[in-house]
Each structure stands twice: as structure tokens, then as C-alpha cells.
């Protein structure tokens, strides 16, 4: 059920409707949009009695949502969600994911040492990335493979943020690591293998930081959106979806990057979606071409693995770009973004762009 407020409804009226929903024993989720606020209702087993809500001041209509996902749907919030991040350090400006300009996340698969993280961060920051990726907790197929440095890796990434002005994206694999990631990082990554770990999704829904949700290796579009719905239903509305390839019969790549899911998601959901061409292909020589394609198809950003010495990387060296290759990727991606009247955010430029958009929204 969805309560659509009138365009001129006051905050008090929205609050009163939320209180009424709570009094009925359900949970309200107010989603302010450019035109109007909609209030999603969760926690109901069957149909909510609409009558008492329909008559409240400021309410335009109460509609039944027939899709299994409610809060992630464009029916609830027609305009795309823009997630805003405060500046990483005193020398950078705030950045966004989901706005006009693309967000670029780059870094190694795993944090191996302070020297390794710093060497890579220096190069990806210089090339124009705004976010640094790196696993401190690695979900590996083999229990004998490198599992990550744990909290020590998170501390290294916090240093990277201060020193290079990059916001930190890193994966949480269980409750304990999620609490630590929530504390140290700027974005909590939920990996493909955990996309349907429902208790972890709910915990991420109660965390304070935005969540980067990767598509499961065999997840349908609906399963992907339902995973995001789990997070949102707990009250965390800042979610970025990520296509990272699915398993198919094709064996020339590690996974098959399903770029068609980008426009498919954008049609149904207001959440931003980015693409991971590294896990999506598993092959260094395919990362740049698929990055170009991802931007062309309308992705809101990229997450790319970069390593200064991939031959000695402790995980995913084969798909990690050399820093020079990442420089080229950034140049090409900038050109393709321009065709779509988008750019790549530079932390220094972003302030003016946000102001521009706000002015348009007010008009
Ligand atoms: C990763 O980003 O390093 C990772 C493990 O990704 P995925 O969950 O998509 O396999
Ligand atoms: Mn990896």
C-alpha cells in the first residue's frame, strides 16, 4: 500500500499520516520526491484498510502496490535517488551517486598491506576516481585462499580516505564485519554471494552508511530488487545496485556481464545502478571495453579493480588493471559520458553541479 500525498502537503500532514500508520500497527516509510511525498507501508500481512488514511488532510490517494517490491519501486518514488556523501577530507568536495555525473570506484580486490593500498590509491585518485575499493574481508571460494586483513585492512582504508581524499567502499560478510565496516567505511558492500543472505541484508538496513548491493551470481531482476527491498524495509534508503556478471554457459569470460539489466532496473526502480566490469569479465583485456559499454548503456558509475603489481596480487590479479590502463579507461569513459550529457564527477567540481540541479528542481 502506498499513500501519495498532495504536492502542497505540509510536513505536519506527512507526519500525521505516518503516525496514523504506526497506530494501525504498520511501518511508514516517507519518501520525499521532487513533485510529492509518497509514504510506503510495510509490516502488513494483508491489505491495509485504506479508508481512514484516504480522508486525512494532505492525502491525494491511497494505492495498492501490485509488485512484490514497494519501496525500491518508481511507483513509490518517481525520481532517481541521489546519494550524497560529505567530502572525504578537507581538500575534496562532496560527491554523489545517482546524479547527473558518474561515480567511479577503483582499487584492489583486497587490501594486502599499507604500502600496496597507498600505491594504488595514489594512482586512482590522480586518475579521477572519487571512491577507493578494497576488501578487508574476502569471501573466497577456497578456505585456503587469502581471506583479507580484517580490521587492520579497514584501518588502512581509513588512512587512505584522509590522505588521498577518497571515500571508502568495502565488503561486509557477516554481522561482526558489518558493524566494523559501518564504523570505518563510507559504503558497505554486500557481495554477490550474500545477495540473498536475508539476515545480513536486514542488518545492513539498520546500518548508518549507504549500501552497495551486488547482484547474485544467478539472481533474476526481481530477486535483485527484492534483496534491496529487504535493506530498505529496515529503514536504510541509501542503496546502490551493482551488476557484476551472472553465471552462464559462456566460458570465454569469468561471468557474463548483463548490461541490459541497467535500463531494466532504471525502468522499475529509483535506485542508482553501477557496473563492475572486473568481476563481470574476469579478464583484464575486457575491463576497459565493458566499462565503455556500461557507461554507454546508462550506468551511474563503475567499480573497477586496479593493482600496481597484478602478477603478485593476492586475489583477482588477472582482472586487475595496471594504473596506466586505468588512466586510459578514465579518459575514454569521460568521452562516452559526454555523449549522454553526463560527466565524471571530480570532487572539486561537484559542488557547483549539485547547486545547478537544486535550482532546476526548485523551478
Ligand atoms: C569484490 O568486489 O571483490 C567481490 C568479491 O565481488 P562479488 O561479490 O561481486 O564477487
Ligand atoms: Mn575481486
Q: Tell me: do 349 and 271 sit in the same domain.
A: yes
Establish if 118 belongs to a structural domain. yes
Return the CATH number at 167.
Answer: 3.20.20.70
Ligand nearest to the CA of 215: 1
Ligand 1 lining (C-beta closer than 6 Å): 109, 135, 139, 191-193, 214, 244, 279
Check whether 361 has a pLDDT greater than 70: no
Q: What are the grid coordinates assigned to 209, written together? A: 552508511
Ligand nearest to the CA of 243: 1
CA of 193 from ligand 2 middle (Å) equals 12
Q: Tell me: do 34 and 176 sit in the same domain.
A: no
φ and ψ of 56, to 5 deg: -75, 150
Establish if 359 belongs to a structural domain. no
Q: Tell me: do 8 and 135 sit in the same domain.
A: no
Q: Tell me: do 172 and 24 sit in the same domain.
A: no
Establish if 99 belongs to a structural domain. yes
User: What would the pLDDT profile of 116-150 be if each residue is shown by its tens digit?
Assistant: 999 999 999 999 999 999 999 998 889 999 999 99
CA-to-CA dists, residue 276 to 80, 88, 190, angstroms: 20, 22, 13
Q: Tell me: do 89 and 56 sit in the same domain.
A: no
Establish if 220 belongs to a structural domain. yes
**Residue nearest ligand 1's atom 3 by CA:** 109
User: What would the pLDDT profile of 264-307 be if each residue is shown by its tens digit?
Assistant: 999 999 999 999 999 999 999 999 999 999 999 999 999 999 99
Q: Give dist(CA 195, CA 228) in Å, integer.
A: 9
Q: Tell me: do 251 and 292 sit in the same domain.
A: yes
pTM: 0.93
Please say whether the beta carbons of 74 and 66 come within 8 A.
no
**Full domain range(s) for residue 17:** 2-63
Measured on CA atoms in the order 351, 91, 272, 282, is the torsion positive or negative? Answer: positive
CA of 347 from ligand 1 middle (Å) equals 25
Q: Tell me: do 23 and 131 sit in the same domain.
A: no
Higher pLDDT, 358 or 341: 341
Q: Tell me: do 7 and 93 sit in the same domain.
A: no
Q: Tell me: do 59 and 107 sit in the same domain.
A: no
**Residue nearest ligand 1's atom 4 by CA:** 191
**Residue nearest ligand 1's atom 1 by CA:** 109
Establish if 69 belongs to a structural domain. no
Establish if 158 belongs to a structural domain. yes
What ligand 1 atom has the least distance to the C-alpha of 245? 9
Establish if 34 belongs to a structural domain. yes
Q: Looking at the 3D structure of the chain, how many domains does it have?
A: 2
Establish if 26 belongs to a structural domain. yes
**Residue nearest ligand 1's atom 10 by CA:** 192
Ligand nearest to the CA of 169: 1
Q: Tell me: do 136 and 24 sit in the same domain.
A: no
Amino acid at each position: 500500500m502506498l499513500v501519495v500525498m498532495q504536492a502542497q502537503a505540509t510536513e505536519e500532514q506527512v507526519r500525521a499520516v505516518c503516525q496514523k500508520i504506526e497506530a494501525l500497527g504498520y511501518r511508514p516509510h516517507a519518501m520525499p520526491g521532487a513533485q510529492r511525498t509518497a509514504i510506503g507501508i510495510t509490516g502488513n500481512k494483508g491489505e491495509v484498510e485504506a479508508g481512514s488514511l484516504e480522508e486525512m488532510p494532505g492525502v491525494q490517494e491511497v494505492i495498492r502496490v501490485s509488485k512484490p517490491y514497494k519501496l525500491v519501486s518508481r511507483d513509490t518514488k518517481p525520481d532517481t535517488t541521489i546519494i550524497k556523501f560529505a567530502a572525504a577530507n578537507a581538500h575534496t568536495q562532496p560527491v554523489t551517486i545517482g546524479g547527473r555525473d558518474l561515480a567511479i570506484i577503483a582499487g584492489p580486490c583486497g587490501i594486502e598491506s599499507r604500502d600496496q593500498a597507498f600505491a594504488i590509491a595514489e594512482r586512482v585518485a590522480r586518475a579521477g576516481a572519487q571512491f577507493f575499493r578494497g576488501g578487508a574481508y574476502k569471501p573466497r571460494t577456497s578456505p585456503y585462499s587469502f581471506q583479507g586483513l580484517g580490521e587492520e585492512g579497514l584501518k588502512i582504508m581509513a588512512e587512505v580516505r584522509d590522505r588521498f581524499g577518497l571515500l571508502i567502499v568495502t565488503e561486509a560478510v557477516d554481522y561482526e564485519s558489518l558493524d566494523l565496516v559501518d564504523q570505518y567505511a563510507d559504503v558497505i558492500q554486500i557481495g554477490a554471494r550474500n545477495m540473498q543472505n536475508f539476515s545480513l541484508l536486514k542488518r545492513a538496513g539498520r546500518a548508518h552508511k549507504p549500501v552497495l548491493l551486488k547482484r547474485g551470481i544467478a539472481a533474476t531482476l526481481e530477486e535483485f530488487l527484492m534483496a534491496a527491498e529487504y535493506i530498505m524495509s529496515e529503514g536504510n534508503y541509501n542503496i546502490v545496485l551493482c551488476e557484476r556478471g551472472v553465471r552462464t554457459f559462456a566460458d570465454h569470460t569469468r561471468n557474463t556481464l548483463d548490461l541490459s539489466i541497467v535500463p531494466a532496473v532504471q525502468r522499475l526502480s529509483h535506485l542508482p545502478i553501477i557496473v563492475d566490469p572486473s568481476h563481470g569479465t574476469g579478464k583484464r583485456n575486457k575491463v576497459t571495453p565493458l566499462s565503455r559499454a556500461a557507461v554507454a548503456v546508462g550506468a551511474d558509475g563503475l567499480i573497477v579493480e586496479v593493482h600496481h603489481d597484478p602478477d603478485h596480487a593476492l586475489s583477482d590479479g588477472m582482472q586487475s588493471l595496471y594504473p596506466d590502463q586505468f588512466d586510459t579507461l578514465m579518459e575514454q569513459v569521460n568521452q562516452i559520458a559526454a555523449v549522454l550529457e553526463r560527466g565524471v564527477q571530480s570532487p572539486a567540481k561537484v559542488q557547483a553541479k549539485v547547486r545547478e540541479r537544486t535550482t532546476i528542481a526548485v523551478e
